[in-house]
Homo-oligomer: A and B are copies of this chain.
Amino acid sequence: MRFEPDAEGDPAKLAYTFGGFEPLVSVRPGTTVSTWTLDCFAGRVRTTADLPSQVCDPRFLNPQTGPFYVEGAEPGDTLVVHFRSIVPRGGRGVSSTVPLFGSLTATTYTAMLHPPLPERTWVYEIDNAAGVVRYDALDSPYTVDLPLDAMHGTVGVAPALGEVRSSLTPGSWGGNMDTPEMRAGTTCYLGVNVPGALFSLGDGHARQGEGETCGVAVECAMDTVLVLDLIKGGSPTPWPRLEDDEFIMTTGSTRPLEDAFRIAHTELVRWVQELTGLSDMDAYQLVSQTALTPVANVVDTNYTVVAKMAKRYLGDVRVMQGMHARWRR
């Protein structure tokens, strides 16, 4: 199916939270959805002269496409989101520094007496065919081509306990995790908290570094094709999980960063136990010697860590009812 967000209309009509919005469309499990997303600035930052604090309305940052109501999804189920393709629209991306936002600056939470760092905007040329994103320095003639590695920073469902959370925040419902692992070819698993799951996505990045240091990736609108499927019941999925051809991955999103690490690694130990039947201490040991642990972001209102284990260390296991393998074909 094709879903067109009402992105050219009133920005107040798009979704800026997980939870709190009525679903715009209903899909059956197993549906392939073709859609697109606005960038995190709702398209208002276009040139190096556009500064977010001047051109953006703080109430309308990081607009999401959705929510999608997934038929039959009930609390305790696991939503399956397989990304078939994620392609930048429009040939350009933008990044910026934003006052009191980012990892190497005082923020509203890491509150200090410093004035903000300078607010600047960078524009990147994107060549989809060549797979290149071009960085151009502002203060010197330096330029360098970086590999295109398109992904979605924000992917999630409605939270538990009746909460409604800003699309700027990641947590157990997914949301603004900002991990480069959320690329085409990856499957994301999200625990369902409300009937229909109420899935939405946005915040396309042509690429980002691990940690998203300044708080803003190479932001662009995206054409995205994804499959929405459902696992009824079974083991719960308390925090978002990912799978690609080589790895299973867990996420943790909270503060301080070591607690995000602890969540991701505890989840990985528990998942390895489920898959292999190893005892808890044996699984802890195997994770200790094999996990990869890339930081996702240290800039959002919660920080995100990813823990990865190669599936080849797990023997002949069937992960999440074989969902990744099925939709990858």
Contact = CB atoms under 8 A, between A and B. Distances in A.
A104 B287 CA distance: 11
A54 interface: no
A44 to B, nearest CB: 17
Contacts of A212: 288
Which residue among A16, A20, A261, A314 has the maximum number of chain B CB atoms within 10 Å of its CB?
A261
Interface in A134-184: 135, 137-140, 142, 144, 146, 161-166, 168
Interface in A100-120: 103-106, 108-114, 117-118, 120
A293 B260 CA distance: 15
Interface string A194-219: 00000000000001111111111110
B142 A295 contact: no
Contacts of A65: none
Contact of A254 (B118, B216, B255, B284): B255
A294 interface: yes
Interface string A276-294: 1111111011111111111
A120 B282 CA distance: 9
Interface residues of A, number: 92
Given A289-B208, A290-B209, A295-B261, A112 B118 contact: no
B295 A109 contact: no
11 contacts: A17-B161, A59-B161, A104-B112, A109-B254, A137-B285, A139-B282, A209-B289, A209-B292, A211-B293, A214-B287, A218-B289
Given A212-B288, A255-B255, 13 more contacts: A19-B164, A95-B289, A103-B262, A105-B114, A111-B265, A112-B114, A113-B269, A140-B279, A144-B315, A146-B290, A209-B292, A255-B256, A261-B298
Interface of A: 16-17, 19-20, 58-59, 95, 97, 103-106, 108-114, 117-118, 120, 122, 133, 135, 137-140, 142, 144, 146, 161-166, 168, 207-218, 238, 252, 254-259, 261-263, 265-267, 269, 276-282, 284-295, 298, 303, 305, 307, 313-315
